[in-house]
């Protein structure tokens, strides 16, 4: 039974079942650090930070048991602005660092903050492996479709042909779809949200925290300096309702009032006018489908041109978590062989005595 904070009463988020519960009733301000926030005016990172700080009290976890690990990029400055433990590490490596921390400390709530460059170019390898292992971490990828910190080169999510400082004649790269990539990497929890919709960001963070294992959240984030309005069609009040596909588990998938998602002949999903296909043919969203094919098909709806962009949870499927399996092996080994004894280890194998 969900309680006020949206998590199961008393127990808190399932993804944090090994983390102690807090008696303190935290407020948003308890999670603000004393450091001045230094993003450019209007940067989408502000909104995400505010949503995150506002959400943390809901976790019901002692502040000292929360750790934010980030890479390098504008977005990766995040940990400095939170009053939790944190590590601002090196470019792309946050998932690896967080893996060591989370696997050795199941009593922590570990959050990875990364960017589209940090998480998908230099750190792409670590990201996919953390997802497939299902380490108990939450990965928030701030996707502004540009390298912000290095002043505006194209990123692995920039659209092909994009003109930037490093691509004056247009970028030759085809972009990644981060959600498709995460699904391909066997992620058990994959979601997407938009920086400007605080309520939606919060609901997705809640679902991510509730997942046991690696949750992956792509957050569309505006960079007003180097890639302004990259997501404008999704924000413009006149357009957004005809473009945003708000996914709700168990509900038919609708785009605005008149259109909805139907299955095509080859398992793909397409958007059709409800008047043409009828209400009954609309696909009902199911985040728990074991086969990732459905979620993958959903993730392909937004390409190429943001015509209808799914936001919300694509996939939420239970898988064994890496840290629990690791700790289980240790417990099993201890049960089997007893707790290790150094002297007998050193004396194992063939020994002989000299008098």
Ligand X SMILES: Cc1ncc(C[n+]2csc(CCOP(=O)(O)OP(=O)(O)O)c2C)c(N)n1
78 binds, among ligand X, ligand SF4, Mg ion, none (CB under 5 to 8 A by kind): none
Binding of residue 86 to ligand X (CB under 6 A): no
Binding of residue 4 to other proteins (CB under 8 A): no
Element (H, E) at 297: helix 293-299
Question: Residues 6 or more apart from 99 whose CB is under 8 A from it?
Answer: 126, 130, 133, 135, 137, 322
Helix/strand/coil for 240: helix
CB 114 within 8 A of CB 127: yes
Q: Which stretch binds ligand X (CB under 6 A): 116-124, 167-175, 251-259, 277-285?
A: 116-124
Minimum CB distance to ligand SF4 smaller for 71 or for 310: 71
Q: What is the 8-class DSSP label of residue 221?
A: -
Q: Which residue is nearest to Mg ion (CB)?
A: 115
Contact partner, 224, from Mg ion, ligand SF4, other proteins, none, Cβ < 5-8 Å per class = ligand SF4
199 binds other proteins (CB under 8 A): no
* Region of 139-147, 208-216, 281-289, 339-347 interacting with ligand X (CB under 6 A): 139-147
The minimum distance between CB 174 and ligand SF4, in angstroms, equals: 23
> Which part of the chain contacts ligand X (CB under 6 A), choosing from 127-135, 144-152, 161-169, 172-180?
144-152
Retrieve residue 198's tokens.
């605080």
Near ligand X by CB under 6 A: residue from 82, 98, 118, 302:
118
d(C-alpha 261, C-alpha 263), whole Å = 7
Binding site for Mg ion (CB under 5 A): 115-116, 144
Contact criterion met (CB below 8 Å) for 124 and 90: no
Separation of alpha carbons 217 and 143, rounded Å: 10
Residue 37: CB atoms within 10 Å: 15
In the complex with ligand SF4, which residue's Cβ is closer, 44 or 312? Answer: 44
């Amino acid at each position: 039974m969900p309680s006020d904070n949206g998590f199961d009463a008393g127990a808190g988020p399932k993804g944090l079942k090994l983390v102690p519960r807090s008696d303190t009733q935290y407020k948003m301000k308890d999670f603000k650090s004393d450091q001045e926030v230094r993003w450019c005016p209007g940067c989408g990172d502000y909104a995400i930070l505010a949503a995150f700080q506002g959400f943390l009290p809901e976790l019901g976890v002692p502040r000292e048991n929360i750790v934010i690990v980030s890479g390098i990029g504008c977005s990766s400055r995040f940990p400095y602005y939170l009053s939790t433990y944190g590590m601002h590490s090196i470019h792309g490596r946050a998932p690896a660092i967080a893996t060591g921390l989370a696997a050795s400390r199941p009593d922590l709530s570990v959050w990875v903050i990364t960017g589209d460059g940090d998480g998908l170019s230099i750190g792409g390898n670590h990201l996919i492996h953390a997802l497939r292992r299902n380490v108990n971490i939450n990965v928030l990828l701030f996707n502004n479709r540009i390298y912000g910190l290095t002043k505006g080169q194209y990123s692995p999510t920039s659209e092909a042909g994009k003109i930037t400082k490093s691509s004056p004649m247009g970028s030759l790269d085809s972009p990644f779809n981060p959600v498709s990539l995460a699904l391909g990497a066997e992620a058990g929890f994959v979601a997407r949200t938009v920086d400007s919709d605080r309520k939606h960001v919060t609901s997705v963070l809640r679902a991510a925290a509730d997942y046991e294992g690696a949750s992956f959240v792509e957050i569309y984030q505006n960079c007003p300096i180097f890639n302004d309005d990259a997501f404008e069609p999704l924000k413009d009040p006149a357009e957004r309702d005809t473009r945003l596909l708000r996914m709700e588990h168990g509900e038919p998938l609708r785009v605005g009032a008149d259109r909805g998602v139907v299955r095509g002949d080859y398992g793909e999903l397409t958007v059709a006018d409800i008047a043409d296909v009828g209400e009954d043919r609309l696909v009902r969203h199911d985040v728990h489908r074991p086969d990732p094919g459905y979620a993958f098909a959903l993730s392909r709806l937004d390409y190429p041109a943001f015509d209808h962009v799914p936001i919300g949870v694509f996939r939420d499927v239970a898988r064994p978590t890496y840290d629990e399996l690791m700790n289980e092996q240790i417990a099993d080994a201890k049960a089997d062989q007893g707790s290790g004894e150094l002297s007998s280890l050193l004396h194992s194998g063939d020994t002989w005595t000299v008098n």
